Amino acid sequence: MTSSAAVSDPLSDLWDHMMSANRTHLFCFYPSKITMSGIWTGDNPLDFSLPLLLFQMLLITFTTRAATFLISPLGLPRYISEILGGFVLGPSVLGRLPHFMNIVFPTRSIFVLDSMALLGLIYYTFTIGVEIELPTITRAGHRSFWFAGASALPPFLIGVTVGYMAVSTDDTRKQKDSVLNALSFPIFLGASFSSTAFSVLARNIAELKLAGTDVGQLTLSASLINDTLAWSGLTVATALSDARSGGVLPSVWTLASGVFIFAAGFLVVRPALVRLAKRASEGEAVGEMRECAVLVGVMVAALVADAGGTHAIFGAFVFGLAVPNGPVGVELVEKVEDFVVGTLLPLFFAMSGLRTDTAKVTSMNAAVLLMIAAIAAAVLKVAAAVGVAAGFGMPLHDGTSIGLLLNTKGVIELVILNIARNKKIMSDQSFTVLVFMSALITALVSPLLAMVVKPARRLVFYKRRTVAWAQPDAELRVLACVHVPRDAPAAITLIDIVSTSSRSPVAVHALHLIEFAGRSSALLLINASAPASSSSEISAHGRSHVEMQFKHIAHAFKAYEENHVVGGVSVRTMAAVSRYESMHEDVTAAAEDQHSALIVLPFHKHRTVDGGMEVSHPAIQELNVSVQSCSPCTVGILVDRGFGTPAGGSGGVYRVAALFFGGRDDREVVALATRMARNTAVDLTVLRFVQKGRAGSYTASEFDALKERKADDGCFREFLDRANAAGGGGVEYCERGVFNANEMVAEIRNVDAAGKDLFVVGKTPGGSGLTAGMADWSECPELGPIGDLLASKDFQTTASVLVVQSYGRAAAAPAAGSMASSEFNVGEAVVVQPEAAMRQGQPPRRPRQQAELTIG
């Protein structure tokens, strides 16, 4: 009896289904039609599962990429283009074409396509969990918790209120839903309104140059907290939705399974992965077997979570939380990121677009109510952020910026909406309206932020923008830029030789320039921009490679400040996370904010083991050129050939040669030499070149030439006076008269033969006759003719080179054949000779001096 009862009659089952009041559509297809025999046999590729899946993936990828290309001029996030691509492929646009949906997206293929999309979503939520490091949330500070709570609670309450109103006024829901199940729709709606997409937000903050600001840090920290709360709310809402079929007990078991998965992730999985990360930080290879085990563990966690009723993506998210955000986490993310984000995740957006059908919007009153609720939630989120900002004494535009940024939507909101729709908690009309509002609000964030953030970026006025200054003991502010830790020693050594005493202080702002290279940089926007003291509290195995680089750079500059014998040096380390194309904006903005007088940039080549020069990153050269063209102060490019190594100085003394040809840039060279002259650890040689056999003016305008010669002579007079006043035992000043470039190069070689650690030269030398034609074969124009000569492998020197461009050079570049602009900038040390010392209408004569003069 038992065995016969277990056997079912297919025809009987079909008849019972057709006679049932709750019958649904039945679809029949051949399960064996997976691969085809070939078009030559008359097979249609779209009739078989695998060719159809590949065609759908290609079509979805092409459509989303095309949408990204079309809306890229608007500066909108990729999230918008992916939703737009799915919407175009859905029933609202192309689906209206006859037979399009039946041919391209037949019902039999939706199961396979949806499964692939969910697989991609599982690994995507795993990477989101890897990015969210719980200690980072606890270090966020009380302000971040206030912003997170204030920006999440009002939208959540609006969603709950509107959702409860919709449920209570729907007679069909009241009849068939229990009390607990009726709460699931309000909670889903509230979680949707209060969510913030951390990954999309991180990219927006990097592009808006807010990564190192207080606004960027608070927003990212609050977003991490909101994301965690949203996933927790999603779990609760999913558990409550299970009350539809079995009462209260299934909901209790679902919540219990969620707690079990979370506990297992942090009590079992995380300790094992922390040990793995510790071994990796000590140099041990992770190995393919262990990486595969972790990626398989993602599927195991997803399977357990789905079996427990909390949804598969919850298990993947918790498993990602258990992975420490260090080298292991970054390597795992890089393993799956390109394929998941580039290929599988667009399938999820396409499925959301296929479910978005404007024809399902039948009740305009309900649709308008949802739209108003979504807009009200967004506005209240901004208002709450403004209120919290006012409570902490922050400016109005900072609170507005934080509120707008926290309105950034992304995958998590679509996940919430899709789960609600699949569980029949949300209607097709509500799903369509909320997807549309999610895209609309995210699209409005960028232009509104541009209106708020860019005007707030006011023009910064300050006087000292050059090294030369009327008060020699005034504080010199230096912005030292570094890309990798090997750039730090040379920059520190350069700062050390211009730091003379506590009476002439130097304020150093070290800026770590980090390329924003995708999702692995998201947490870096928080950790790398934090102060070094707080950043060092995390263990080494919990850091990514770039975070470790920032730690080493910060410690190097901090150690220099603490060990500086003379005193008078203050150091602060910051980070700028940006793409190389716009990184110059971060540099110039930091220089303006810190009122810097000198920016030090590393050269785009570094020294190799054999003594040669190798390109570090080709984009660094263009970055240096961009900084030179729009810098708010003097810029120096440092070509490091071991200047910061122990062997860089001979016996603790650094041998420096400053070459002077005349002009604005070379006067900045002399200003640096003046500071070095007071440093007992510097053996300084200042070499001034004078072109022989040149009569009359050397510029297109004799008046300009007269002013330039006055400035040059006055600059040297001040240098000699200050060097004599400081004792000047290790300072040598020489003049060399040369006829042409060949003699000039020979003199420079003689100086180099004496053994030098550093050459300091101007980018644009004043003696245009000596350097005429050198720019034609220049390999690095940003170094100028003399700097390019010293940096080239043909010159064969082991000395490092500092190329200086004075403030105002880029803004007022001299015309061809002219020496320089007749305008003097604030901060130039200009001493004018008495009027009687010159002939009217002629340039001043050079004072008669010995060919070689040694001071002291």
Same structural domain for residues 554 and 670? no
| pLDDT of residue 482 exceeding 90 | yes
Of 684, 134, 158, 114, give the one whose Cα is nearest residue 373. 158
Same-domain check for residues 624 and 684: no
pLDDT in tens, 630-677: 899 999 999 998 887 655 555 578 899 999 888 888 888 988 988 888
Same structural domain, 547 and 689: no
Q: Give pLDDT, residue 33.
A: 78
How many other CB atoms sit within 10 Å of the CB of residue 360? 18
Pairwise pLDDT comparison (441 vs 719), residue with the higher score: 441
State residue 520's pLDDT score: 44
In a domain, 60, yes or no: yes
Pairwise CA distance, residues 761 & 663, whole Å:
11
Q: Which of 24-38, 291-305, 818-832 has the highest mean pLDDT?
A: 291-305
pLDDT at 420: 85
Q: Classify residue 8: in a domain, yes or no.
A: no
Q: What pLDDT, on a 0 to 100 scale, did the predictor assign at position 843?
A: 35
Q: Following DSSP, what letter does each residue of 181-227 receive, concatenated?
A: HHHHHHHHHHHHHH---HHHHHHHHHHTT-TTSHHHHHHHHHHHHHH
Please give the tally of structural domains in the chain. Answer: 3
- Domain limit, last residue, from 629, 663, 681: 629
Mean pLDDT of 424-433: 87
Q: Is the pLDDT of residue 275 over 60?
A: yes
CA–CA separation, 64 and 147 (whole Å) = 34
Residue 688 lies in a domain: yes
Verify that 613 and 557 share a domain, yes or no: yes
Q: What's the mean pLDDT in 289-304?
A: 92
Tens digit of pLDDT for each residue in 574-594? 888 888 888 998 899 889 888
Task: Report residue 207 as tokens.
Answer: 């592009």
Model confidence at 211: pLDDT above 50 = yes
**pLDDT for 236 beyond 90:** no
| Domain match, 416 and 544 both | no
**Whether residue 359 sits in one domain with residue 398:** yes
Average pLDDT over all residues of the chain: 78
User: Does 609 lie in the same domain as 700?
Assistant: no
Which of 421, 452, 483 is the endpoint of a domain? Answer: 452
Q: Is the pLDDT of residue 265 over 50?
A: yes
In a domain, 12, yes or no: no
Residue 653 included in any domain: yes
- CB-based contacts of 461, cutoff 8 Å, min separation 6: none
Q: Are 439 and 376 in contact (CB under 8 A)?
A: no
For residues 321 and 442, state if they share a domain.
yes
640 in Cβ contact with 821 (< 8 Å): no
322 and 281 share one domain: yes
CATH of the domain at 212: 1.20.1530.20
CATH number of the CATH domain containing 744? 3.40.50.620
Instruction: Examine the fold and report which residue of 629, 663, 691 is the final residue of a domain before the chain moves on.
Output: 629
- Nearest CA among 440, 439, 521 for reference residue 220: 521
- Asked if residue 20 is part of any domain, the answer here is no
Lowest mean pLDDT among 167-181, 562-576, 765-779: 167-181
CA separation for the pair 123, 395 (Å, rounded): 40
Q: Exposure pattern of 31-67 as b/e (b: 16+ CB <10 Å)?
A: eeeeebeeeeeeeeeeebbebbbeebbebbbebbbeb
**Residues 445 and 499 reside in one and the same domain:** no
Q: What is the mean pLDDT of residues 473-496?
A: 90
Does the pLDDT value for residue 20 go beyond 70?
no
Long-range contacts formed by 578-582: CB under 8 A, 24+ apart = 578/206, 578/207, 578/209, 578/211, 578/513, 578/514, 578/515, 578/516, 579/206, 579/207, 579/515, 579/516, 580/515, 580/617, 580/619, 580/620, 580/622, 580/623, 581/619, 582/207, 582/209
Domain that holds residue 619: 465-629
Interatomic CA distance for residues 766 and 135, integer angstroms = 56
Q: What is the DSSP string of 335-399?
A: HHHHHIIIIIHHHHHHHHHHH--GGG---HHHHHHHHHHHHHHHHHHHHHHHHHHHHTT--HHHH
CATH label of the domain that carries residue 573: 3.40.50
Quote the pLDDT of residue 188. Answer: 85
Rounded-to-integer distance, Cα 273 and Cα 768, Å: 64
Residue 663 lies in a domain: yes
Give pLDDT, residue 25: 64
- Whether this model's pTM surpasses 0.85: no
Question: How much of the chain, in percent, has pLDDT values that exceed 90?
Answer: 20
Burial of 597 (0-12, 13-18, 19+ CB in 10 A): buried
| Structural domain includes residue 438 | yes
Per-residue pLDDT tens for 528-571? 444 444 343 344 444 556 777 888 898 999 998 888 766 678 89
* CA dist., res. 321 & res. 318, Å (int): 5
**Best CA proximity match to 494, nearest among 643, 594, 690:** 643
pLDDT tens string 77-102: 788 888 888 889 988 889 888 889 88
Question: Residue 712's pLDDT band (boundaries 50, 70, 90)?
Answer: confident
**Dihedral sign, Cα of residue 255, residue 256, residue 259, residue 264:** negative
DSSP 793: T
pLDDT score of 646: 58
Number of H helices, E strands in the chain: 34, 13
Confidence of residue 14 (pLDDT cuts 50, 70, 90): low
- State which H helix or E strand residue 638 sits in: strand 634-639
Same domain, 326 and 375: yes
Q: What share of the chain is helix, strand, coil (3-state, %, to 5)?
A: 60, 10, 30
- Is 39 in the same domain as 113? yes
